[in-house]
Structure 1
Amino acid sequence: MFSRGTAKFFKSAVGSASKRFSTESNAKASASNLLFKASVATAVGSGISLWYLNKNTAHADMQADGLHPPHYNFPHTTLLGTFDHASIRRGFQVFKEVCAACHSLDHVHWRNLIDVAFTEDEVKELAAEYEYEDGPNDQGEMFMRPGKPSDPFPKPYPNEEAARAANAGAFPPDLSLITKARHGGADYVYSLITGYCDPPAGVEIREGLNYNPYFPGGAIAMAQNIFDGVVEYEDGTPATASQIAKDVTTFLGWASEPELDDRKKLGVKAVLLFSTLTALSLWIKRNRFSSLKNRKIVFNPPSNWNTPTKK
């Protein structure tokens, strides 16, 4: 009787312990699931908030930071889009006839235009229009020679001091990486070129400056120089102000990322290659290793396992 009661006692104790352990395990699992869901919700909410703040055009101080530029559908800014090379050619013409009077392209050489917007012969002719200092010669003197495709684009000023002296103290920035160096990229450059307007009521611009809401502070030393018909395109494209701004922005985007087209082509090839390899590896794992992963190894001891061996 005593042994039967003891067995019932231990049985009930074990049952209650297992229930308590199961309850604690379920509670821990529920807490872990709740924590995981909260983490995912926080991450998703943070991502949505950052996306909204990046897309929102409102700023705390637009006058000091500059108006946020709207988004324009430049072909090269899309995921798989490439440069409009006809636009690059027209944009180079705009830069040469309008922008090159003040701005430089220190990191771009004439040879970079070959097979992008011009042929090799055309690039040689363009480079030969300018003279570059070279030397020394056999007499130890420097001399001037026509430009070659290996030469960089000519600078409008010999140094920064000369540039500031010619522009009332303002230094025209180099445009080689302008679309990468400014927040908004191509959208900012296009908006800045086309965004000149009269200052609003209550805003005073000192003499020698111009009002542009997209420029930080609103007062910019560069005057508006893009108008309808300021250039005459050789291919007959109507030279409206918006078309000119689009073409020169495309050219400056190419100058900032001349390898963009090749990088996107290589990226597409890499995605296709790795997608194929991933699908192939999944198929091999499922069809070739399923027998190895699902097999059961059974140990069958010999019948004389416990029989002592004879010495």
Structure 2
Amino acid sequence: MLFTRQALQAGRIAASGTRARAGARFASTSAHPRNSSSRAVVAGATAVSVGSVAWYTHLYGQLPFVGEMSANSPAENGLHPAAYPWSHKGWLDTFDHASIRRGYQVYREVCAACHSLDRIAWRNLVGVSHTVDEVKAMAEEVEYEDGPNDQGEMFQRPGKLADYMPPPYPNEEAARASNGGALPPDLSLIIKARHGGADYVYSLLNGYVDPPAGVEVREGLNYNPYFPGGAIAMARVLFDGLVEYDDGTPATTSQLAKDVVTFLSWAAEPEHDERKKMGLQAVIILSTLTALSLYAKRFKWTVVKNRKLLYNPPK
């Protein structure tokens, strides 16, 4: 009788242990999806936070609550330019093509003497600022070296639409020799290559002033507070009435700077207008598809989501 009682007690203990282990396994398997979901939420939130910080830094240069660390003084870094209301800065705004045409005239008559525009071909101007015939006429005014011919010799020919705009100097050494050792930068991507973009270039062109008291600029340099260090090799090049616009626009210094900066902004992003047009089309199409998807989802799932399950226990 004693052995029977001990056997029953041992069986109860074994059964309770089995149920405990089964419950633990069930609890662990049921908790696993919740843990996976929590980890996914944390990872998603982290990715969104890091992406937001990276995008803000890309747009504005630094975070508003983080101080900028620099080994140079503000004067050595250059005066920060003001933010100007450019007509093409909005999400749906395009370039002022009349300003691009005037800006090219300023570049051709003033800037092209020292600065190249290597990434822009004559054909890029067609339909943007000039007609085909106008661009062909301008290209034919320039002689390009081509060849070899049947005798193996190089020859000169008039320019054509496929040619790129000619540089002012044959090589870097010639450019430095003509500018006191300074190398005039190529202007194809100058707007994208400078912090501040169009605002910086516009401020630089209009920023030539006499050096303040106590500031000495060595011979051959010019004082400009917007240029890092304050001393720039390029002298002031824009003056009132320097260019006579074909459309009669008053050629003030600020107007000349505004037009040439607009032209250089287009040169840095020739696809600007088309990109915004395609972006608007993509937003419209994706918004329409999203609305249709939501409607189809609600239509297909309405039966499942609105059904009610009723349990009738057996009598």
Alignment partners' CA distance in 2, 1:52 and 1:178 = 26
Q: Deviation at 1:295?
A: 3.1
Matched, 1:211 2:223: yes
Q: Deviation at 1:286?
A: 2.2
Structure 2: 5+ residue runs without aligned partners? 1-37
Alignment partners' CA distance in 2, 1:53 and 1:147 = 54
- Indicate the residue corresponding to 1:86 in structure 2: 98
Matched, 1:71 2:83: yes
- Indicate the residue corresponding to 2:212 in structure 1: 200
Alignment partners' CA distance in 2, 1:82 and 1:60 = 37
Identity across matched positions, percent: 66
Name which of 238, 258, 269 aligns with 1:226: 238
- Indicate the residue corresponding to 1:286 in structure 2: 298
Q: Deviation at 1:147?
A: 0.6
- Indicate the residue corresponding to 1:180 in structure 2: 192
Alignment partners' CA distance in 2, 1:220 and 1:86 = 31
Task: Give the SS at the match of 2:88.
Answer: helix
Structure 1 residues 301 and 141, CA, compared in 2 at 3 Å: closer, same or farther?
A: farther
Alignment partners' CA distance in 2, 1:218 and 1:179 = 20
Name which of 92, 103, 112 aligns with 2:124: 112
Q: TM-score, normalised by structure 1?
A: 0.77
Paired residues for 1:1-311 under 5 Å: 50=62, 52=64, 61-296=73-308
Q: Deviation at 1:52?
A: 3.7
The letter of the residue matching 2:101 is R
Alignment partners' CA distance in 2, 1:70 and 1:183 = 12
Structure 1 residues 295 and 51, CA, compared in 2 at 3 Å: closer, same or farther?
A: same
> Structure 1, residues 219-266: CA drift from partner, whole Å, max 9, x if none?
000000001001000111100001000000000000000000000000
The letter of the residue matching 1:80 is L
Alignment partners' CA distance in 1, 2:151 and 2:118 = 30
Q: TM-score, normalised by structure 2?
A: 0.77
Task: Give the SS at the match of 1:289.
Answer: helix
Task: Give the SS at the match of 1:75.
Answer: coil
Q: Deviation at 1:288?
A: 3.0
Task: Give the SS at the match of 1:68.
Answer: coil
Task: Give the SS at the match of 1:77.
Answer: coil
Alignment partners' CA distance in 1, 2:234 and 2:135 = 29
Structure 1 residues 60 and 293, CA, compared in 2 at 3 Å: closer, same or farther?
A: farther
Paired residues, what number? 260
Q: Deviation at 1:289?
A: 1.3
Task: Give the SS at the match of 1:83.
Answer: coil
What is the RMSD of the two structures over their aligned residues, measured on CA atoms?
2.8
Structure 1: 5+ residue runs without aligned partners? 1-31, 303-311
Alignment partners' CA distance in 2, 1:272 and 1:162 = 52
Q: Deviation at 1:110?
A: 0.2
Alignment partners' CA distance in 1, 2:161 and 2:98 = 20
The letter of the residue matching 1:68 is H
